[in-house]
Amino acid sequence: MHHLSVARRTPSRRGSMHDVPKELMDTIHELEKLFSVDINKMHVIVNRFVSELEKGLSKEGGSIPMNPTWVIGYPTGDECGTYLALDMGGTNLRVCEVELPEEKGQFEIYQSKYRLPDEIKVGDSDQLWDYMAECVKQFLIANHEGQDLSELPEMPLGFTFSYPCTQNAIDHGILQRWTKGFDIDNVEGRDVVPLFEDALQRKGVPVKIVALINDTTGTLIASAYTDDTTRVGCIFGTGCNAAYMEEAGCIPKLEHMKLDPKLPIAINCEWGAFDNEKLVLPRTTYDAHIDKTSPRPGQQLFEKMVAGLYLGEIFRLVLVDLHNNADVHLFQGQDIFGLKLEFSLDASFLSDIENDPWENLMEVQSIFENKLKISTTEPERKLIRRLAELIGTRAARLSACGVAAICKKKGYTSCHVGADGSVFNKYPHFQERQAQALREIFNWGPEIKNDPIQVVPAEDGSGVGAALIAALTLNRIKQGIHAGVNVKRKNSLIPPTHPCW
Ligand code: BGC
C-alpha cells in the first residue's frame, strides 16, 4: 500500500528578488495577481463545484457530465485470471497482459508502449482504430511467440478510453466529445466499441472488449484493490478528471431504472468541463486564447487551466505577450521566433525550469539558449521562474478544489484519493502545493499531524484497474447479474435485461 506522509514545507523555492529592476518586478506582481488563487476564491470554487457535481447527476444535467460507468462496487479480491488491457491515453498507447492471481492485492503485468503519432489524433477514424488494432496484434504476436493468432482463445480486454462517453452498458460507450486536442471526424456521437471491434476483426485479432473504462475509474478501482481507504481516483496528466463511487439512490437521472438505492456505481465525473459557463474560475486572457483556438472552444474550461497539455502553452503565451509589451523590456531586441510556435513547450519545460537548483538559474539560461535560441538576463530568469511557479501552483490549487468538492459532496472527512498522471507524478511541488491547498480549504491547522484527506500515488489504473474491471464484469455475467439500460445491444456481452438487480 502506498502511503504519503505530507511534508509541511514551503512548496517552492524562491530565490532573492533584490536585483530585479522595478519594471520587471511590477510585471511579476501583476502576474502574481493574475495567477494566484486565494483561499476565498477556493471556497467559492469548491461550493460551486459541489453544486455542479449534483447538477450533473440530476435529470436536467449540467456542464459536468457525471457519467455512470456501470462499474458496480469495489473489487472483492475474488478477481483472478489473465486479461488484456489497452490504454488509449492522450500521448501513448499501452497494451498490457495482466495476471490476477488468487491472492487479493497481487498482480503481474507485461506491457508494451506505442507512441500515438500526432497525425493520428487529427486523422480519420479508420486510421485510428486500425493503428490501435495493429498494436494489440503486435503485442500478442510478441507475447505468444510461435503460436498462431487464429488458434489463440479469444482474450477478454478492458479498453481504457479516456474521453467522455455515455454508457448504457459497461461494454459500450458513445463518445460525447473529443478532448485533449483530439479531433477525429465521425466518432463523436458514435459507439466506439463496435468501431474498434471491427478493426480488430479485420486484422484477425482474437480479442473481445468486455469493458470500456475511463482512466479515472480504472485508477479508483486499482487503488481500492490495494488500499481500502481509497474513495476517489484522479488523473492529473495530459488531461484532468476524477471518478468516485456513488449510490444509485443519489443519481436522479437513473431513477427510471429503479435500481437498488444502495447500489454503488462508479461515476466518471468528467470534471474538466467544470465552469464551462465561465462563472467562477479566475480565467486570464491567456486561458481565453487557448480556449478560442482549441478544436473545441467553450468545452473543458477547467481542464484547460489545470491539465499538462495546456501548462506550457499558457506559459508561452504570457512570455510572448510580455515581449510584445514595450514597457516590460523582456528579451529586448531579440527575435523570439523560438517562442512563436503554438504548443511547442510542454509541461516538462516548466518542470525543468522549476527544478533548476542554482540561485542564478543557470539551467534556465541554458534551456532558453538551447531550445529557444533566446539569451536571458538573471532578472529575466527570475521572472521566468516565478511565472512557471505561478502556473504550476494555480493548477495544483484548482485541482485541489475538485478533490475537496467530491469529498464535501460525499461527506468524506478522511480518505485516500488515488492519483496518477504526468503532472501529479513528475511536476515539481505539484503534490505539496495540492496538499497545502487542501489544508487551507479544510482549515487543518498545524496541530493536525497527518492530513485526513491525502492524495496519494495510485496503482496503475489503465492496466491493473482495467483488468480488475474486466474480471468484475465477467464474474457478474457468470453469476447472471447484469446492469445497464434495457435496450437491444448488438454484440453486447451483457444481454438486454430488465433494469433491475
Ligand atoms: C478526458 C477524461 C480523462 C482525462 C484524463 C480528459 O480530457 O475527458 O475522460 O479522464 O482527460 O485522462
- Read off the pLDDT of residues 313-348 as tens digits, 9 standing for 90 and up: 999 999 999 999 989 989 999 999 999 999 999 999
- Read off the pLDDT of residues 164-182 as tens digits, 9 standing for 90 and up: 999 999 999 999 999 999 9
List where CATH 3.30.420.40 sits in the chain.
Answer: 67-227+459-478
Cell of 50: 459541489
What DSSP letter does each residue of 131-185 carry, written as one string?
HHHHHHHHHHHHHTTTS-GGGSPPEEEEEEE-S-EE-SSTT--EE----TT---T
CB neighbour list of residue 389: distance below 8 Å, 6 or more residues apart: 12, 14, 354
Confidence of residue 250 (pLDDT cuts 50, 70, 90): very high
CA distance 429 to 396: 9
* pLDDT above 50 for 276: yes
Pocket residues: Cβ below 6 A from ligand 1: 90, 162-164, 179-180, 214-216, 235, 237, 239-241, 270, 272, 303
Q: Where are the alpha helices (DSSP H) in 332-371?
A: 347-355, 362-367
**Which ligand 1 atom minimizes the distance to the CA of 162?**
9
CA distance 2 to 416: 10
Give the 3-state secondary structure of residue 209.
strand
> Helices 39-57 and 378-410, interaxial angle, to 10°?
40
- CB atoms near residue 52 (< 10 Å): 25
**In this structure, which topology does domain 15-45+278-395 adopt according to CATH?**
Hexokinase; domain 1 (3.40.367)
Per-residue pLDDT at 104? 79
Contact (CB, 8 A) for 267 and 71: no
* Mean pLDDT value across residues 297-305: 98
**In this structure, which topology does domain 67-227+459-478 adopt according to CATH?**
Nucleotidyltransferase; domain 5 (3.30.420)
Instruction: Report CA Rg, the chain.
Output: 23
* pLDDT above 50 for 67: yes
* Mean pLDDT value across residues 27-44: 98
Residue ID of nearest Cα to ligand 1 atom 7: 239
For a mutational test of ligand 1's pocket, the pick from 63, 241, 276, i.e. the residue with the most ligand atoms closer than 8 A to its C-beta, is 241
Contact (CB, 8 A) for 429 and 392: yes
CA distance 292 to 356: 33
CA 69 – ligand 1 centroid, Å:
14
Per-residue pLDDT at 9? 44
- Show which residues are catalytic: 162, 177, 215
Strands 174-175 and 165-166: antiparallel
Per-residue pLDDT at 4? 39
Residue ID of nearest Cα to ligand 1 atom 11: 239
Per-residue pLDDT at 396? 98
In degrees rounded to 5, what are phi and psi of residue 175? -65, 125
Per-residue pLDDT at 483? 52
The mean pLDDT value of the chain amounts to: 91
* pLDDT above 90 for 405: yes
Residue ID of nearest Cα to ligand 1 atom 12: 239
- Exposed / middle / buried, residue 438 (Cβ in 10 Å: 0-12, 13-18, 19+): buried
Contact (CB, 8 A) for 419 and 455: yes
For a mutational test of ligand 1's pocket, the pick from 92, 161, 162, 424, i.e. the residue with the most ligand atoms closer than 8 A to its C-beta, is 162
CA distance 194 to 69: 18
Strands 264-268 and 207-213: unpaired
Instruction: Tell me, rounded to whole angstroms, the distance of Cα 379 from its chain centroid.
Output: 35
Q: Give the Cα-Cα-Cα angle 164, 56, 52 (nearest 5 degrees).
A: 115
DSSP state of 6: P
Confidence of residue 146 (pLDDT cuts 50, 70, 90): confident
Q: Which of 144-148, 237-241, 268-272, 355-359 has the lowest mean pLDDT?
A: 144-148
CA 481 – ligand 1 centroid, Å:
29
Residue % of the chain over a pLDDT of 70: 93
Per-residue pLDDT at 6? 38
Q: Give the Cα-Cα-Cα angle 47, 51, 57 (nearest 5 degrees).
A: 150
Per-residue pLDDT at 7? 38
CB neighbour list of residue 147: distance below 8 Å, 6 or more residues apart: none
Strands 155-161 and 207-213: parallel
Would you state the torsion angle of the CA atoms of residues 311, 312, 313, 315, taken in this order, to the nearest 10 degrees? Answer: 90
List where CATH 3.40.367.20 sits in the chain.
Answer: 15-45+278-395
* pLDDT above 70 for 12: no
* pLDDT above 60 for 494: no
CB neighbour list of residue 124: distance below 8 Å, 6 or more residues apart: 184, 185, 186
Contact (CB, 8 A) for 460 and 222: yes
Residue ID of nearest Cα to ligand 1 atom 1: 163
Cell of 360: 542564478
Per-residue pLDDT at 77? 83
Per-residue pLDDT at 16? 78
In one-letter notation, the amino acid at residue 29 is H
CA 51 – ligand 1 centroid, Å:
21
For a mutational test of ligand 1's pocket, the pick from 180, 183, 425, i.e. the residue with the most ligand atoms closer than 8 A to its C-beta, is 180
CA 268 – ligand 1 centroid, Å:
9
Per-residue pLDDT at 361? 96
CA distance 282 to 32: 12
DSSP state of 371: I
Q: With the C-alpha atoms ordered 306, 309, 311, 313, is the resulting torsion angle positive or negative? A: negative
- Read off the pLDDT of residues 94-145 as tens digits, 9 standing for 90 and up: 999 999 998 877 889 999 999 989 899 999 999 999 999 999 999 999 988 8
- Read off the pLDDT of residues 412-471 as tens digits, 9 standing for 90 and up: 999 999 999 999 999 999 999 999 999 999 999 999 999 999 999 998 999 999 999 999
Give the 3-state secondary structure of residue 419.
strand
- Exposed / middle / buried, residue 429 (Cβ in 10 Å: 0-12, 13-18, 19+): buried
CA distance 105 to 475: 17
Per-residue pLDDT at 91? 80
Q: Where are the alpha helices (DSSP H) in 293-346?
A: 303-306, 308-324
Per the model's pLDDT, the better-predicted residue between 302 and 483 turns out to be 302
